[in-house]
Structure 1
Amino acid sequence: MSDFKTISIIGCGWFGFPLARLLKSKGLAVKGCKRTPAGVEALTQAGIEGYCVGLDKDAVLPEGLLDADVLVINLPPGLRRGDSGYLERLATLRDAVKTPPKRLIFISSTGVYPDFPKLLDEHDSSAHSPTAAILLGAEALFAPFNTTVVRFAGLVGPERHPGRFFAGKKDIAGGAVPVNLVHLTDCIEGVMALIFADTLAPCYNLCAPKHPTKAEFYTLAAQVAGYELPAFIAGDDTDGKLVDGSLICRLHGFMYSYPDPVAMLHAADAF
Protein backbone atom coordinates (compact mmCIF):
# COMPACT_ATOMS: atom_id res chain seq x y z
CA MET A 1 0.00 0.00 0.00
CA SER A 2 1.61 3.21 -1.17
CA ASP A 3 -0.08 5.35 1.49
CA PHE A 4 2.12 3.90 4.25
CA LYS A 5 4.60 6.61 5.16
CA THR A 6 5.64 5.90 8.76
CA ILE A 7 6.69 2.57 10.24
CA SER A 8 7.52 1.85 13.85
CA ILE A 9 9.49 -1.26 14.84
CA ILE A 10 9.20 -2.36 18.45
CA GLY A 11 12.44 -4.23 19.05
CA CYS A 12 15.35 -3.23 16.82
CA GLY A 13 17.69 -6.13 17.43
CA TRP A 14 19.08 -8.88 15.19
CA PHE A 15 16.06 -8.76 12.88
CA GLY A 16 14.44 -5.41 13.62
CA PHE A 17 17.48 -3.18 13.07
CA PRO A 18 18.34 -4.37 9.54
CA LEU A 19 14.63 -4.24 8.67
CA ALA A 20 14.54 -0.64 9.88
CA ARG A 21 17.60 0.26 7.82
CA LEU A 22 16.10 -1.26 4.68
CA LEU A 23 12.80 0.56 5.17
CA LYS A 24 14.71 3.80 5.71
CA SER A 25 16.58 3.24 2.43
CA LYS A 26 13.19 3.07 0.68
CA GLY A 27 12.45 6.63 1.76
CA LEU A 28 10.08 5.83 4.62
CA ALA A 29 10.03 7.53 8.01
CA VAL A 30 11.13 4.79 10.42
CA LYS A 31 10.94 4.74 14.21
CA GLY A 32 12.41 2.15 16.50
CA CYS A 33 13.27 1.40 20.09
CA LYS A 34 16.11 -0.07 22.11
CA ARG A 35 16.54 -0.66 25.83
CA THR A 36 19.74 1.36 26.24
CA PRO A 37 20.92 4.88 25.28
CA ALA A 38 23.78 3.33 23.30
CA GLY A 39 21.28 1.31 21.29
CA VAL A 40 19.21 4.41 20.61
CA GLU A 41 22.34 6.23 19.43
CA ALA A 42 22.98 3.45 16.91
CA LEU A 43 19.45 3.91 15.58
CA THR A 44 19.91 7.67 15.34
CA GLN A 45 23.14 7.29 13.40
CA ALA A 46 21.27 5.10 10.90
CA GLY A 47 18.67 7.83 10.37
CA ILE A 48 16.02 6.09 12.45
CA GLU A 49 13.96 8.00 15.02
CA GLY A 50 15.05 6.18 18.15
CA TYR A 51 13.40 5.79 21.54
CA CYS A 52 14.79 4.30 24.74
CA VAL A 53 12.06 2.01 25.97
CA GLY A 54 11.61 -0.69 28.58
CA LEU A 55 8.41 -2.64 28.97
CA ASP A 56 8.58 -3.43 32.64
CA LYS A 57 5.49 -3.11 34.81
CA ASP A 58 4.09 0.45 34.91
CA ALA A 59 6.36 1.52 32.03
CA VAL A 60 5.16 4.57 30.10
CA LEU A 61 5.72 4.34 26.37
CA PRO A 62 6.29 7.55 24.41
CA GLU A 63 3.32 8.37 22.19
CA GLY A 64 5.55 9.24 19.26
CA LEU A 65 6.87 5.69 19.02
CA LEU A 66 3.43 4.17 18.53
CA ASP A 67 2.12 6.87 16.18
CA ALA A 68 2.76 5.17 12.84
CA ASP A 69 0.92 3.75 9.85
CA VAL A 70 2.53 0.35 10.36
CA LEU A 71 3.59 -1.23 13.64
CA VAL A 72 5.98 -4.21 13.60
CA ILE A 73 6.30 -5.93 16.98
CA ASN A 74 9.42 -8.02 17.32
CA LEU A 75 10.11 -8.85 20.96
CA PRO A 76 11.84 -12.24 21.37
CA PRO A 77 10.29 -14.12 24.30
CA GLY A 78 13.55 -15.35 25.84
CA LEU A 79 11.75 -18.41 27.22
CA ARG A 80 14.83 -20.60 27.03
CA ARG A 81 16.54 -18.19 29.41
CA GLY A 82 13.73 -18.58 31.92
CA ASP A 83 12.09 -15.23 31.10
CA SER A 84 8.71 -15.24 32.85
CA GLY A 85 7.58 -11.69 32.07
CA TYR A 86 7.05 -11.94 28.31
CA LEU A 87 3.26 -11.79 28.27
CA GLU A 88 3.20 -9.01 30.86
CA ARG A 89 5.54 -6.85 28.76
CA LEU A 90 3.45 -7.43 25.66
CA ALA A 91 0.28 -6.53 27.56
CA THR A 92 1.93 -3.26 28.59
CA LEU A 93 2.69 -2.56 24.95
CA ARG A 94 -0.81 -3.49 23.79
CA ASP A 95 -2.43 -1.22 26.35
CA ALA A 96 -0.25 1.66 25.20
CA VAL A 97 -1.56 1.47 21.62
CA LYS A 98 -4.38 4.00 21.77
CA THR A 99 -4.91 4.45 18.02
CA PRO A 100 -4.81 1.21 16.00
CA PRO A 101 -2.25 1.37 13.18
CA LYS A 102 -3.32 0.74 9.59
CA ARG A 103 -1.29 -2.47 9.71
CA LEU A 104 0.18 -4.42 12.61
CA ILE A 105 2.62 -7.29 12.11
CA PHE A 106 3.50 -9.46 15.09
CA ILE A 107 6.61 -11.65 14.88
CA SER A 108 6.11 -15.07 16.44
CA SER A 109 7.66 -18.54 16.15
CA THR A 110 6.99 -21.91 14.55
CA GLY A 111 7.42 -23.27 18.07
CA VAL A 112 3.60 -23.21 18.15
CA TYR A 113 3.55 -26.38 16.00
CA PRO A 114 3.76 -29.84 17.58
CA ASP A 115 6.21 -32.54 16.51
CA PHE A 116 3.97 -34.34 14.09
CA PRO A 117 5.01 -36.26 10.94
CA LYS A 118 3.13 -34.21 8.36
CA LEU A 119 3.50 -30.88 6.60
CA LEU A 120 2.22 -28.27 9.07
CA ASP A 121 0.61 -25.07 7.83
CA GLU A 122 -0.63 -21.95 9.59
CA HIS A 123 -3.78 -23.72 10.87
CA ASP A 124 -1.92 -26.46 12.76
CA SER A 125 -0.77 -24.53 15.81
CA SER A 126 -1.66 -25.84 19.26
CA ALA A 127 -0.80 -25.30 22.92
CA HIS A 128 1.11 -28.59 22.90
CA SER A 129 3.66 -27.39 25.48
CA PRO A 130 3.99 -24.58 28.05
CA THR A 131 6.18 -22.67 25.60
CA ALA A 132 3.68 -23.04 22.75
CA ALA A 133 0.88 -21.88 25.05
CA ILE A 134 2.82 -18.70 25.88
CA LEU A 135 3.59 -18.02 22.21
CA LEU A 136 -0.06 -18.44 21.24
CA GLY A 137 -1.08 -16.25 24.18
CA ALA A 138 1.25 -13.55 22.90
CA GLU A 139 -0.29 -13.71 19.43
CA ALA A 140 -3.78 -13.49 20.90
CA LEU A 141 -2.98 -10.31 22.83
CA PHE A 142 -2.92 -8.30 19.61
CA ALA A 143 -5.89 -9.95 17.88
CA PRO A 144 -8.13 -6.88 18.48
CA PHE A 145 -5.89 -4.87 16.13
CA ASN A 146 -6.57 -7.10 13.11
CA THR A 147 -2.99 -8.29 13.39
CA THR A 148 -1.03 -10.36 10.90
CA VAL A 149 1.18 -12.92 12.65
CA VAL A 150 4.47 -13.97 11.05
CA ARG A 151 6.01 -17.13 12.50
CA PHE A 152 9.76 -17.49 11.97
CA ALA A 153 11.35 -20.93 11.80
CA GLY A 154 14.80 -21.49 13.33
CA LEU A 155 16.91 -18.43 12.64
CA VAL A 156 20.29 -18.44 10.90
CA GLY A 157 22.43 -15.61 9.62
CA PRO A 158 25.03 -13.16 10.94
CA GLU A 159 26.22 -14.18 14.42
CA ARG A 160 23.96 -17.26 14.22
CA HIS A 161 26.04 -19.76 12.27
CA PRO A 162 24.42 -23.17 12.83
CA GLY A 163 27.78 -24.94 12.80
CA ARG A 164 28.30 -24.16 16.48
CA PHE A 165 24.92 -25.46 17.70
CA PHE A 166 25.94 -29.12 18.04
CA ALA A 167 29.68 -28.88 17.44
CA GLY A 168 31.56 -31.64 19.26
CA LYS A 169 28.49 -33.01 21.02
CA LYS A 170 27.88 -36.76 21.21
CA ASP A 171 24.82 -39.04 21.36
CA ILE A 172 22.48 -36.42 19.91
CA ALA A 173 18.90 -37.57 19.44
CA GLY A 174 16.69 -36.85 16.46
CA GLY A 175 19.23 -37.11 13.67
CA ALA A 176 16.59 -38.17 11.15
CA VAL A 177 14.08 -35.38 11.86
CA PRO A 178 13.78 -32.56 9.30
CA VAL A 179 15.14 -29.11 10.10
CA ASN A 180 12.97 -26.02 9.78
CA LEU A 181 15.13 -22.96 9.22
CA VAL A 182 14.97 -19.50 7.71
CA HIS A 183 17.74 -17.03 6.93
CA LEU A 184 17.71 -13.44 8.19
CA THR A 185 17.56 -12.18 4.59
CA ASP A 186 14.30 -14.04 4.00
CA CYS A 187 12.87 -12.79 7.31
CA ILE A 188 13.55 -9.21 6.26
CA GLU A 189 12.39 -9.58 2.66
CA GLY A 190 9.33 -11.59 3.68
CA VAL A 191 8.15 -9.03 6.22
CA MET A 192 8.87 -6.24 3.73
CA ALA A 193 6.62 -7.97 1.20
CA LEU A 194 3.84 -8.25 3.77
CA ILE A 195 4.14 -4.63 4.90
CA PHE A 196 3.32 -3.43 1.40
CA ALA A 197 0.94 -6.18 0.23
CA ASP A 198 -2.57 -5.03 -0.71
CA THR A 199 -4.28 -7.63 1.46
CA LEU A 200 -3.00 -10.06 4.08
CA ALA A 201 -3.92 -13.42 5.52
CA PRO A 202 -4.10 -13.64 9.33
CA CYS A 203 -0.87 -15.65 9.61
CA TYR A 204 2.22 -16.69 7.63
CA ASN A 205 5.10 -19.05 8.25
CA LEU A 206 8.58 -18.07 7.09
CA CYS A 207 10.54 -21.29 6.64
CA ALA A 208 12.91 -22.46 3.89
CA PRO A 209 11.13 -24.87 1.52
CA LYS A 210 13.75 -27.62 1.78
CA HIS A 211 14.22 -29.67 4.94
CA PRO A 212 17.44 -31.69 5.22
CA THR A 213 17.75 -34.00 8.19
CA LYS A 214 19.15 -32.72 11.45
CA ALA A 215 22.18 -35.02 11.21
CA GLU A 216 22.91 -34.08 7.60
CA PHE A 217 22.58 -30.36 8.10
CA TYR A 218 24.38 -29.88 11.41
CA THR A 219 27.23 -32.22 10.52
CA LEU A 220 27.83 -30.28 7.33
CA ALA A 221 27.39 -26.96 9.15
CA ALA A 222 30.08 -27.87 11.67
CA GLN A 223 32.39 -29.04 8.88
CA VAL A 224 31.95 -25.86 6.85
CA ALA A 225 32.60 -23.68 9.91
CA GLY A 226 35.64 -25.70 10.98
CA TYR A 227 34.15 -27.02 14.24
CA GLU A 228 34.43 -30.53 15.69
CA LEU A 229 31.77 -32.73 14.10
CA PRO A 230 28.75 -33.79 16.16
CA ALA A 231 27.72 -37.43 16.59
CA PHE A 232 24.08 -38.49 16.34
CA ILE A 233 22.45 -41.61 17.76
CA ALA A 234 22.14 -44.20 14.99
CA GLY A 235 18.62 -45.41 14.28
CA ASP A 236 16.96 -42.87 16.54
CA ASP A 237 13.31 -42.39 15.53
CA THR A 238 12.51 -39.21 17.46
CA ASP A 239 9.48 -37.40 16.03
CA GLY A 240 9.97 -34.09 14.28
CA LYS A 241 7.88 -31.56 12.40
CA LEU A 242 7.84 -30.20 8.87
CA VAL A 243 6.79 -26.56 8.59
CA ASP A 244 5.20 -25.30 5.38
CA GLY A 245 6.41 -21.80 4.53
CA SER A 246 4.77 -21.58 1.11
CA LEU A 247 1.67 -19.46 1.83
CA ILE A 248 3.55 -16.19 1.36
CA CYS A 249 4.83 -17.51 -1.99
CA ARG A 250 1.39 -18.55 -3.22
CA LEU A 251 -0.41 -15.38 -2.16
CA HIS A 252 2.25 -12.74 -2.80
CA GLY A 253 4.75 -14.21 -5.28
CA PHE A 254 7.50 -14.21 -2.65
CA MET A 255 10.65 -16.18 -3.47
CA TYR A 256 13.06 -17.35 -0.79
CA SER A 257 16.63 -16.15 -1.32
CA TYR A 258 17.79 -19.19 0.67
CA PRO A 259 15.36 -22.03 -0.11
CA ASP A 260 17.86 -24.78 0.78
CA PRO A 261 19.60 -24.66 4.18
CA VAL A 262 22.40 -26.92 2.90
CA ALA A 263 23.19 -24.62 -0.01
CA MET A 264 22.98 -21.71 2.42
CA LEU A 265 26.04 -23.01 4.23
CA HIS A 266 28.17 -22.44 1.15
CA ALA A 267 26.88 -18.95 0.34
CA ALA A 268 29.56 -16.35 0.94
CA ASP A 269 27.10 -13.74 2.24
CA ALA A 270 24.83 -16.06 4.22
CA PHE A 271 26.54 -15.36 7.54
Structure 2
Amino acid sequence: MNIISIIGCGWFGFPLASHLVRQGFHVKASKRKVEDLIPLQQQGIEAIQLDLANVSAQVSRTGLFDSDAIVINIPPGLRRGGSDYLLYLTRLKQLIGTRQYQKVIFISTTGVYPSLDHTVTEADATAFNDASATLLEAESMFATMPNSCIVRFSGLIGPKRHPGRFFAGKVDVSGANVAVNLVHLDDCVNAVSLILSGRDTQSVYNLAAPIHPTRGEFYVIASQHLGLPPPEFNQQQQPSKTIDGQLICQDLGFEYRHPDPIKMLDAC
Protein backbone atom coordinates (compact mmCIF):
# COMPACT_ATOMS: atom_id res chain seq x y z
CA MET A 1 0.00 0.00 0.00
CA ASN A 2 1.61 3.24 -1.19
CA ILE A 3 -1.14 5.74 -2.05
CA ILE A 4 -3.92 6.78 0.34
CA SER A 5 -6.83 9.10 -0.45
CA ILE A 6 -8.50 11.09 2.34
CA ILE A 7 -11.88 12.56 1.50
CA GLY A 8 -12.40 15.47 3.88
CA CYS A 9 -9.14 16.85 5.24
CA GLY A 10 -10.27 18.98 8.17
CA TRP A 11 -9.72 18.85 11.93
CA PHE A 12 -9.12 15.09 11.88
CA GLY A 13 -8.20 14.48 8.24
CA PHE A 14 -5.35 16.99 8.11
CA PRO A 15 -3.40 15.54 11.07
CA LEU A 16 -4.04 12.05 9.69
CA ALA A 17 -2.74 13.04 6.26
CA SER A 18 0.35 14.71 7.75
CA HIS A 19 1.03 11.64 9.89
CA LEU A 20 0.78 9.32 6.88
CA VAL A 21 3.09 11.52 4.82
CA ARG A 22 5.69 11.30 7.58
CA GLN A 23 5.32 7.52 7.44
CA GLY A 24 6.25 7.60 3.77
CA PHE A 25 2.85 7.30 2.10
CA HIS A 26 1.76 9.35 -0.89
CA VAL A 27 -1.39 11.05 0.36
CA LYS A 28 -4.11 12.62 -1.76
CA ALA A 29 -6.60 14.70 0.19
CA SER A 30 -9.61 16.85 -0.59
CA LYS A 31 -10.88 20.22 0.61
CA ARG A 32 -14.00 22.06 -0.47
CA LYS A 33 -12.33 25.39 -1.24
CA VAL A 34 -9.35 26.06 -3.50
CA GLU A 35 -7.78 28.48 -1.00
CA ASP A 36 -7.71 25.74 1.64
CA LEU A 37 -5.43 23.52 -0.45
CA ILE A 38 -2.24 25.49 0.24
CA PRO A 39 -1.67 24.33 3.87
CA LEU A 40 -2.01 20.73 2.69
CA GLN A 41 0.49 21.22 -0.10
CA GLN A 42 2.94 22.73 2.36
CA GLN A 43 2.86 19.42 4.27
CA GLY A 44 3.64 17.36 1.17
CA ILE A 45 0.02 16.34 0.61
CA GLU A 46 -1.40 16.17 -2.92
CA ALA A 47 -4.34 18.50 -2.35
CA ILE A 48 -7.38 18.36 -4.62
CA GLN A 49 -10.57 20.39 -4.51
CA LEU A 50 -13.78 18.42 -4.00
CA ASP A 51 -17.05 20.13 -3.16
CA LEU A 52 -19.76 17.49 -2.95
CA ALA A 53 -22.39 20.24 -2.97
CA ASN A 54 -21.31 21.16 -6.49
CA VAL A 55 -19.50 18.28 -8.16
CA SER A 56 -17.97 18.96 -11.56
CA ALA A 57 -17.03 16.38 -14.16
CA GLN A 58 -13.38 17.34 -13.71
CA VAL A 59 -13.23 15.77 -10.24
CA SER A 60 -13.32 12.25 -11.66
CA ARG A 61 -10.28 13.08 -13.80
CA THR A 62 -8.07 14.47 -11.02
CA GLY A 63 -6.90 11.08 -9.81
CA LEU A 64 -8.23 11.75 -6.29
CA PHE A 65 -9.83 8.33 -6.13
CA ASP A 66 -7.01 6.40 -7.78
CA SER A 67 -5.24 4.99 -4.73
CA ASP A 68 -4.61 1.83 -2.74
CA ALA A 69 -6.78 2.86 0.22
CA ILE A 70 -9.39 5.49 0.96
CA VAL A 71 -10.47 7.20 4.19
CA ILE A 72 -13.90 8.87 4.04
CA ASN A 73 -14.27 11.61 6.62
CA ILE A 74 -17.32 13.74 5.78
CA PRO A 75 -18.81 15.39 8.91
CA PRO A 76 -22.57 14.70 9.13
CA GLY A 77 -23.43 18.16 10.42
CA LEU A 78 -26.67 16.79 11.87
CA ARG A 79 -26.52 18.87 15.05
CA ARG A 80 -26.38 22.00 12.89
CA GLY A 81 -29.44 20.91 10.95
CA GLY A 82 -27.51 19.50 8.00
CA SER A 83 -29.82 17.66 5.62
CA ASP A 84 -27.56 16.92 2.63
CA TYR A 85 -25.23 14.40 4.26
CA LEU A 86 -26.65 11.34 2.54
CA LEU A 87 -26.85 13.19 -0.78
CA TYR A 88 -23.16 14.09 -0.57
CA LEU A 89 -22.20 10.51 0.27
CA THR A 90 -24.28 9.22 -2.63
CA ARG A 91 -22.39 11.55 -4.97
CA LEU A 92 -19.11 10.41 -3.46
CA LYS A 93 -20.02 6.76 -4.00
CA GLN A 94 -20.81 7.54 -7.63
CA LEU A 95 -17.42 9.21 -8.08
CA ILE A 96 -15.67 6.18 -6.60
CA GLY A 97 -17.54 4.00 -9.06
CA THR A 98 -16.24 0.47 -9.46
CA ARG A 99 -12.81 1.14 -7.96
CA GLN A 100 -11.67 -1.39 -5.38
CA TYR A 101 -9.29 -0.66 -2.54
CA GLN A 102 -7.07 -2.62 -0.21
CA LYS A 103 -8.81 -0.76 2.62
CA VAL A 104 -11.90 1.44 2.82
CA ILE A 105 -12.27 3.30 6.13
CA PHE A 106 -15.48 5.21 6.80
CA ILE A 107 -15.42 7.58 9.78
CA SER A 108 -18.66 7.52 11.75
CA THR A 109 -19.68 8.34 15.31
CA THR A 110 -20.92 6.62 18.44
CA GLY A 111 -24.14 8.57 17.97
CA VAL A 112 -25.54 5.28 16.66
CA TYR A 113 -25.91 4.00 20.23
CA PRO A 114 -28.95 4.88 22.34
CA SER A 115 -28.47 6.27 25.84
CA LEU A 116 -29.18 3.22 27.96
CA ASP A 117 -27.78 2.30 31.34
CA HIS A 118 -25.20 -0.21 30.21
CA THR A 119 -21.96 -0.63 28.29
CA VAL A 120 -22.39 -0.73 24.50
CA THR A 121 -20.23 -2.53 21.96
CA GLU A 122 -20.02 -2.41 18.18
CA ALA A 123 -23.01 -4.76 17.91
CA ASP A 124 -25.41 -2.44 19.76
CA ALA A 125 -26.01 0.20 17.08
CA THR A 126 -29.67 0.92 16.37
CA ALA A 127 -31.78 3.51 14.59
CA PHE A 128 -33.38 4.96 17.73
CA ASN A 129 -33.99 8.45 16.26
CA ASP A 130 -33.69 10.31 12.95
CA ALA A 131 -30.02 11.19 13.43
CA SER A 132 -28.94 7.64 14.26
CA ALA A 133 -30.95 6.31 11.31
CA THR A 134 -29.11 8.73 9.01
CA LEU A 135 -25.73 7.72 10.45
CA LEU A 136 -26.46 4.01 10.00
CA GLU A 137 -27.68 4.54 6.44
CA ALA A 138 -24.44 6.41 5.71
CA GLU A 139 -22.38 3.56 7.14
CA SER A 140 -24.29 1.02 5.07
CA MET A 141 -23.31 2.76 1.82
CA PHE A 142 -19.66 1.89 2.38
CA ALA A 143 -19.90 -1.19 4.61
CA THR A 144 -20.73 -3.25 1.52
CA MET A 145 -17.50 -2.30 -0.24
CA PRO A 146 -14.73 -4.92 -0.14
CA ASN A 147 -12.17 -4.48 2.67
CA SER A 148 -14.28 -1.87 4.44
CA CYS A 149 -14.06 -0.85 8.09
CA ILE A 150 -16.39 1.54 9.90
CA VAL A 151 -14.68 3.53 12.69
CA ARG A 152 -17.00 5.16 15.21
CA PHE A 153 -15.45 8.07 17.11
CA SER A 154 -16.66 9.05 20.56
CA GLY A 155 -16.66 12.72 21.51
CA LEU A 156 -13.59 14.27 19.91
CA ILE A 157 -11.25 16.50 21.86
CA GLY A 158 -7.75 17.80 21.23
CA PRO A 159 -6.13 20.99 19.92
CA LYS A 160 -8.76 23.74 19.49
CA ARG A 161 -11.39 21.41 20.98
CA HIS A 162 -11.03 21.81 24.71
CA PRO A 163 -14.09 20.40 26.50
CA GLY A 164 -13.84 22.97 29.29
CA ARG A 165 -15.98 25.36 27.24
CA PHE A 166 -18.88 22.93 26.75
CA PHE A 167 -20.67 23.57 30.07
CA ALA A 168 -18.64 26.37 31.64
CA GLY A 169 -20.74 28.75 33.72
CA LYS A 170 -24.01 26.93 33.07
CA VAL A 171 -26.41 26.30 35.94
CA ASP A 172 -29.07 23.71 36.65
CA VAL A 173 -27.37 21.17 34.38
CA SER A 174 -28.80 17.66 34.59
CA GLY A 175 -27.05 14.34 34.08
CA ALA A 176 -24.13 14.66 36.50
CA ASN A 177 -24.21 10.86 36.72
CA VAL A 178 -23.71 10.31 32.96
CA ALA A 179 -20.49 8.62 31.88
CA VAL A 180 -18.15 10.66 29.69
CA ASN A 181 -17.21 9.00 26.39
CA LEU A 182 -14.34 10.87 24.76
CA VAL A 183 -11.36 10.16 22.54
CA HIS A 184 -8.33 12.32 21.77
CA LEU A 185 -7.32 13.32 18.26
CA ASP A 186 -3.94 11.58 18.69
CA ASP A 187 -5.65 8.26 19.33
CA CYS A 188 -7.94 8.69 16.32
CA VAL A 189 -4.95 9.30 14.04
CA ASN A 190 -2.99 6.38 15.44
CA ALA A 191 -5.96 4.00 15.34
CA VAL A 192 -6.90 4.75 11.73
CA SER A 193 -3.25 4.44 10.70
CA LEU A 194 -3.13 1.04 12.39
CA ILE A 195 -6.30 -0.12 10.65
CA LEU A 196 -4.87 0.95 7.30
CA SER A 197 -1.87 -1.32 7.86
CA GLY A 198 -3.83 -4.18 9.46
CA ARG A 199 -4.76 -7.13 7.29
CA ASP A 200 -7.35 -8.87 9.45
CA THR A 201 -9.66 -6.23 10.84
CA GLN A 202 -13.25 -6.31 12.01
CA SER A 203 -15.95 -4.50 10.04
CA VAL A 204 -16.57 -1.96 12.84
CA TYR A 205 -14.48 -0.46 15.64
CA ASN A 206 -15.38 1.97 18.40
CA LEU A 207 -12.83 4.51 19.56
CA ALA A 208 -13.37 5.61 23.16
CA ALA A 209 -10.91 6.21 25.97
CA PRO A 210 -11.18 3.33 28.47
CA ILE A 211 -11.68 5.58 31.53
CA HIS A 212 -15.13 7.14 31.90
CA PRO A 213 -15.49 9.81 34.60
CA THR A 214 -18.96 11.24 35.20
CA ARG A 215 -20.04 14.51 33.64
CA GLY A 216 -20.39 16.00 37.11
CA GLU A 217 -16.74 15.29 37.83
CA PHE A 218 -15.19 15.83 34.42
CA TYR A 219 -16.75 19.08 33.25
CA VAL A 220 -16.09 20.87 36.53
CA ILE A 221 -12.40 19.97 36.23
CA ALA A 222 -12.34 20.76 32.49
CA SER A 223 -13.75 24.26 32.92
CA GLN A 224 -11.40 24.99 35.82
CA HIS A 225 -8.53 23.80 33.61
CA LEU A 226 -9.27 26.82 31.38
CA GLY A 227 -9.86 29.15 34.30
CA LEU A 228 -13.57 29.33 33.49
CA PRO A 229 -16.45 29.14 36.00
CA PRO A 230 -17.52 25.52 36.48
CA PRO A 231 -21.03 24.31 35.67
CA GLU A 232 -23.53 23.70 38.43
CA PHE A 233 -25.32 20.35 38.19
CA ASN A 234 -28.73 19.60 39.63
CA GLN A 235 -29.84 16.28 41.11
CA GLN A 236 -31.69 15.06 38.01
CA GLN A 237 -30.09 11.88 36.70
CA GLN A 238 -30.13 10.66 33.11
CA PRO A 239 -29.50 7.32 31.36
CA SER A 240 -25.77 6.69 31.16
CA LYS A 241 -24.20 4.62 28.41
CA THR A 242 -20.54 3.64 28.38
CA ILE A 243 -18.83 3.11 25.02
CA ASP A 244 -16.57 0.07 24.95
CA GLY A 245 -13.57 0.90 22.76
CA GLN A 246 -11.49 -2.17 23.54
CA LEU A 247 -12.17 -4.37 20.48
CA ILE A 248 -9.46 -2.61 18.45
CA CYS A 249 -7.04 -3.22 21.32
CA GLN A 250 -7.86 -6.92 21.40
CA ASP A 251 -7.69 -7.34 17.62
CA LEU A 252 -4.81 -5.11 16.59
CA GLY A 253 -2.84 -4.50 19.78
CA PHE A 254 -3.84 -0.84 19.80
CA GLU A 255 -3.04 1.14 22.96
CA TYR A 256 -4.71 4.41 23.85
CA ARG A 257 -2.14 7.13 24.26
CA HIS A 258 -4.69 9.14 26.25
CA PRO A 259 -6.77 6.65 28.28
CA ASP A 260 -7.97 9.14 30.91
CA PRO A 261 -10.13 12.11 29.76
CA ILE A 262 -9.06 14.19 32.77
CA LYS A 263 -5.37 13.79 31.85
CA MET A 264 -6.29 14.50 28.21
CA LEU A 265 -6.97 18.10 29.15
CA ASP A 266 -3.24 18.83 29.17
CA ALA A 267 -3.12 17.73 25.51
CA CYS A 268 -5.93 20.02 24.34
Same fold (TM over 0.5): yes
Q: Which residue of 1 aligns with 2:143?
A: 143
Alpha-carbon distance change, 36 to 58 in structure 1, aligned in 2, over 3 angstroms: closer
**Partners of 1:118 and 1:79 in 2: how far apart?**
25
Matches within 5 A, 1:236-247: 236-247=236-247
Q: Which residue of 1 aligns with 2:4?
A: 7
Letter in 2 for 1:26: Q
Q: Which residue of 2 aligns with 1:155?
A: 156
Instruction: Return 34-43 or 123-132, whichever deviates more.
Output: 34-43
Pick from 14, 30, 33 the counterpart of residue 30 of structure 2: 33
SS at match of 1:132: helix
Normalising by structure 1, we get a TM-score of 0.95
* Gapped regions of structure 2 (runs ≥ 5): none
Instruction: Check whether the contact 1:57–1:92 (CA below 8 A) recurs between aligned residues.
Output: no
Normalising by structure 2, we get a TM-score of 0.96
Instruction: Check whether the contact 1:57–1:88 (CA below 8 A) recurs between aligned residues.
Output: no
Matched, 1:62 2:60: yes
Pick from 36, 50, 65 the counterpart of residue 53 of structure 1: 50
1:100 Cα deviation from its structure 2 partner = 1.7
Q: Which residue of 1 aligns with 2:189?
A: 188
Query: Aligned residues, how many?
Result: 264
**Partners of 1:258 and 1:216 in 2: how far apart?**
18
Identity %: 47
**Partners of 1:237 and 1:200 in 2: how far apart?**
38
1:59 Cα deviation from its structure 2 partner = 4.2
Alpha-carbon distance change, 183 to 115 in structure 1, aligned in 2, over 3 angstroms: same
**Partners of 1:205 and 1:143 in 2: how far apart?**
15
1:180 Cα deviation from its structure 2 partner = 0.3
CA RMSD of aligned residues (A): 1.0
1:45 Cα deviation from its structure 2 partner = 1.2
1:96 Cα deviation from its structure 2 partner = 1.0
**Partners of 2:39 and 2:54 in 1: how far apart?**
26
**Partners of 1:225 and 1:38 in 2: how far apart?**
32
Instruction: Check whether the contact 2:143–2:203 (CA below 8 A) recurs between aligned residues.
Output: no
Which ranges of 4 or more aligned residues in structure 1 deviate by more than 6 Å?
Answer: none
Pick from 13, 16, 26 the counterpart of residue 16 of structure 1: 13
Letter in 1 for 2:17: A
**Partners of 1:44 and 1:62 in 2: how far apart?**
20
Letter in 2 for 1:195: L
* Gapped regions of structure 1 (runs ≥ 5): none
1:26 Cα deviation from its structure 2 partner = 0.9
Instruction: Check whether the contact 1:40–1:52 (CA below 8 A) recurs between aligned residues.
Output: yes
